[in-house]
Amino acid sequence: MNDGSYDELFVPLVGYLKSIGCDKQQHGSSRTLLDHLVGVSEMLAKKDCSDDLCIAGLFHSIYGTSHFRPKMISMGERDNIKSLIGVEAENIVYQFCILPKNRIAGIKRLQDGRLKDALYDLTKANAEEQKIWRSKSKIIQIYEDVVEDHVAELIASQMRTVYWQYEYHSKSVGENKHPSMHWHVLCGHNSTEITENGFEWVIPIWTAAMFKYDFKNIYNVNTFKRIYMNAHTHGIEPVMHTDDGDFTMIYYPRLDWKPEWGGGTLIDGQLVPYVGNSLVVFDAYLPHMAMPVTKECYELRSVIVFKCNRNV
């Protein structure tokens, strides 16, 4: 920082962000947009970045971005923001907000100079701040009675008609690595592909997550990366592993599953029992595994899995 204006302006600027609702807007599962904005700004300040960049960090997504859709203020108000935080800081904010989803690729196309360097620093701080926060705020959340009874029965019925592909390998982690094979079916990467593949009956689960439980605001997500199904029986030993993406949703479709059959999911040491029409949401980096099925069970332990990325 250069002249101390960042320190002098910090409190009144935070007050302004509160006045436009940043302290009410959800960003992630258990914090607000203001928490994130302040975190990014403070990270830039600790790196001794310029006052303009630190202030830009405090406002960096107020116009909405290609990842974070909520617009706290219209771009038609740019002149007011320029008067509040300065022309250079506002331009960094504006340029950040209009970057494409692949931000690094978008920045690379810009002319070399202070703006390009500032956007690189801001993009890095934005990602680092969220990575640190996620490492401190583990998510394992269980939802019951996810869809209406008749929908749950339809899903359970459709699961009995699935043509499974065997010999799908899990990628294990930890000291006791060993290969594990199970049944697997890819539903698709988007609603159109899923419908074309004949799995449109899984979409109500996603719809319930988004609208019944407001996952858009709680987990800062708009869509999924892919949906697939896994299954195993007694005699197949699942392995501990982590997932790609930001978080995973596992839906238990079998309504006839008995507790004594086992088959739950172990997530970072926490057992989530198999209960039909329930959903567990957890951070993808958490080690987890399907639990073995007891020898008394002659049924297929099946799940529907949603891989998701947060908007950042």
Domains in the chain: boundaries: 5-136, 140-308
Q: What is the mean pLDDT of residues 23-50?
A: 90
Three-state secondary-structure class, residue 2: coil
Model confidence, pTM? 0.63
37 φ, ψ (degrees, to nearest 5): -60, -45
Residue 1's pLDDT band (cuts 50, 70, 90)? very low
DSSP 8-state secondary structure symbol assigned to residue 63: T
Nearest to 216 by CA among 111, 308, 142, 125: 308
Query: pLDDT tens, 10-20?
Result: 889 999 999 99
Q: What is the mean pLDDT of residues 11-31?
A: 88
User: What local confidence, expressed as pLDDT, does residue 2 receive?
Assistant: 46
Instruction: Answer whether 129's CB lies under 8 Å from 27's CB.
Output: no
Residue 120's pLDDT band (cuts 50, 70, 90)? very high
Q: What is the mean pLDDT of residues 148-167?
A: 92
Instruction: Answer whether 199's CB lies under 8 Å from 187's CB.
Output: yes
Q: Which fold has domain 140-308?
A: Jelly Rolls (2.60.120)
pLDDT more than 70, % of the chain? 92
Query: pLDDT tens, 65-85?
Result: 988 888 999 999 999 999 999
